[in-house]
Structure formats: structure tokens, C-alpha cells
Chain A
């Protein structure tokens, strides 16, 4: 089986052409920014099945901040672990999600002034009546945390657990706690509290007496060195804080 040199070349150039034709660049106007938000972060950012759009506390916040700063936002669903890569590779311009400010993240991206603060929440199986006050109460147990969150690192650094499992979403983690596959799960406290209050999973309970150790600030996030946008955001955040409009959003989503 030999020959066919010319046909081969035709096929090759055709495929190359096709690949090149698929490539295009996106232009960005200053009056509109693309915002990345997770679609699984109830109540900060999640899908409204009636309108098929993302809604939630952070969606409202970034829309408000944008209005104050004079730009419109185009909110795009992005898995949590893909948020920062999407930002650094120019797929999105702003992250509006329940993303806490950390030193490690601040090396890669820039954070705005905080819009909200919270720490980690602990949940266990509803049948588990033990009292958990600190992480030490979970020594030698299997625990879970959401991929890409600060809790994964913190738990691994703390050590002493039998295993730290990493989940895509809090809902998956709750399912495994309910099924007894893991002893306890860690998630953003307001998210966990809100979801359980909404009846997310009746076989799981929030451990009320647990003391958060990783208090953090939720900020809007922009590309490293995007100082112009950062200044616009910070100015708008200051306005929204002083006139109480952020507080109203927090109140509206039951996060206070």
C-alpha cells in the first residue's frame, strides 16, 4: 500500500484550513464586561430554572457594581475550578463568585475591596448527634471539601484526617455525607446553611456549634495588573457600601 501523495496533501491542507477557520478573536468594549460565575454556588451564583439565567447574591452584586461604575455585565457560567484559568486566559474579565481572597490567589489575580465575609461551615449526617467544635474532633475521619476552595488546602495542611476527598459541588458532597461515604463535609458556611434551609438534603445537618477558623473576604476578582478596572470596581463598591445597597442584597438573600 503506497502512493496517494497528492490526495494526502489535499486532505491535510483542507483540515488545516478548517482548523484555522474555527479560530477567531473576541473584541471587548469598555462598557460591557464578561463575568464568570459558578452555576452551582447556591445562593451566591446559581441557575434560575424559570429564566435559565444565573442569579444569586454575587450576580446581583456585580450587576449593581457594574451599574454604579457604568458598565453592563454578561454573566457566563463557569465551573469553580475553571474560574481563575478563564480569567488569566482572557475568557472572562471579572469573577463574581463565592471566592475568598487568599495570598496564593492574590499572586495570580487581583482582588477588589471585600463585599462580604464568611468562613467554613461543617455538615454531618443528620443521625450523627455528636458535637463538633473544632477540626480536632474529626481526627482520623474521612472528610470532604469542594475542589478549588481554600478549605482543601487548609484541611490537607492541618492533617490528621484519614482522607480529604475533593468534590465538584457541595451537593455531591452532601449526598456522600448522607450515604455515609464520608463523615463530614466542609463548604462555604452561608452556602451550606442556605442550601440546608431550603431542604437540599434532609439527611444532612449543619453543625451549628462548629467554630469557623478560615474567615475570609469575598471580593470581585480581576486579571493581575488590570488596575483601571480594579479602580472602577473599588469606587463603585465604596458607593454601594455607603448607600447600603450591598447590605440590602445580603439581606435579600438571607445571608446576614
Chain B
């Protein structure tokens, strides 16, 4: 009976898990790009730009993710911007996390010795090349642990998009629980599936950290 239930629930939960992975993947890419842009803007020598970026980061950080999602999904259509639930979820989560990503990146970039940049300039490197070859590779190494943690947090917070009708794993579990009343079975399965998704990420990040740590001691 229990086994039969689990076999019945599993395909539905797995379909939800796939949506969870998709939302997390796209939102993570979006938040990384936006976060990097915000971090660079915030460090700009142009005060107006730096201030704008800082305010954007503070506003995003000061708003609950769920409110941002509601706003994007339910309010923006009034201004003519129609997004599907999935798109709104990815964009909402991506924007919400871009603020934290920006701080991760900024910490990494600022930790790179300014002397190295001057050295690169002195041998005639142009700014984009300095960023690409000198700053970002080292910044990446420093920012990697918080970056990895952000990914794990995002995987878990992707359950928030269920509130704007995206059928991801938590929502799938809720649906099964309310039509079968098997709360314990369903939510235990959901919890195990989340762990199966997040624990490998935790280990991968840990390995990467060790590897890049070795690189630095050379």
C-alpha cells in the first residue's frame, strides 16, 4: 500500500523536481549576470552610477522575494508586461538573488590586490582584458564558497514560485497531499528529493573550494 502510493506519487513529484531544477538553473544564470553587472556598477568611479547600483541592491534586499514575485506576475500586466508564470518566477527569483550575488562578487573583486591591476596596466593591458585575465579569475576563487551557497539557497527558495502558480516540486507535493491526505508520505518524499538535489551541490562546491584553495598556495 505504502509502496504503491510512493510509486504513484513519484512521477508527479519528479516532474515537479524537473521544474524546480529548471527554475533554479535559469534564475541562477540571470542572477549571476545581473549580480556581476550590479557589482561592477557599484564599484564604478562614477558616483551617480555607484549610488544607483547601491540603491537598487538595497531595494531588492529590502523586499521579500514573495512580494517581488507577486509584483512581477500580478502587477506588471497592468503596465502591459505579460509574463508566463515560469518566466515571472525565473525573472523574480533572478532579480531577488542578484543583490546577494552582487555582494558576493564585489567582495571577491575587492579582495584582489590593486597592485596587480596597476602591474597589468603598466604592461599595456586594456581594462576589459585586465578584468578578464587578472581580476575575475582571482575574484571567482574568492567568491566561490558564497557563490555555491547561494546556489543551494536558491534551489530551496525556488519553492516560492509555487505561489504564482508554477507547478514545481513543493506545489506538486501539496497537490498530492491534499487529494490523497497522505501528508507524511508525500512531504517525506519531497524532503528527500530536495536533499538529493542539494547535497550533491554542497559536495561539488566543497570540492571546488578545496581545489581552488590548493591552486592559491602554489
Contacts and interface: CB of A to CB of B under 8 A. Distances in A.
A82 B44 contact: no
A95 B109 CA distance: 51
A145 B84 CA distance: 30
Contacts of B45: 2-3
A1 B127 contact: no
Contacts of B176: 47, 49
A90 interface: yes
A11 B132 CA distance: 13
Interface stretch (B17-25, B148-156, B161-169, B201-209): B161-169
A15 B175 contact: no
A14 B33 contact: yes
B133 interface: no
Interface residues of A, number: 50
Contacts of A171: 177-178, 181, 183
Interface string A14-41: 1100110011111000000000100110
Contacts of A11: 33, 36-37, 40
Nearest to A85: B74
A7 B165 contact: no
A42 interface: yes
Q: Is the interface of B mostly helix, strand, loop or mixed?
A: helix
Given A11-B33, A77-B167, A22 B83 contact: yes
Interface in B28-57: 30, 33-34, 36-37, 40-41, 43-45
Interface residues of B, number: 53
B62 interface: no
Nearest to B174: A40
Interface in A187-214: 195, 198-201
Nearest to A82: B165
B114 interface: yes
B87 A23 contact: yes
A50 interface: yes
Nearest to A13: B37
Interface in A105-162: none
B127 A6 contact: yes
Nearest to A86: B165
A12 B37 contact: yes
A48 B40 contact: no
Given A39-B175, A47-B176, A4 B127 contact: yes
A49 B180 contact: yes
B85 A91 contact: yes
Given A8-B40, A18-B33, A91-B165, A52 B78 contact: no
B34 A15 contact: yes
B33 A46 contact: no
7 contacts: A1-B114, A15-B37, A23-B83, A40-B174, A47-B12, A79-B163, A90-B77
Interface of A: 1-8, 11-12, 14-15, 18-19, 22-26, 36, 39-40, 42, 46-50, 52, 76-79, 82, 85-86, 88-91, 168-171, 175, 195, 198-201
Q: Which 6 pairs show the lowest CB-CB distances between chains A and B?
A: A40-B178, A89-B77, A3-B127, A46-B179, A39-B175, A85-B74
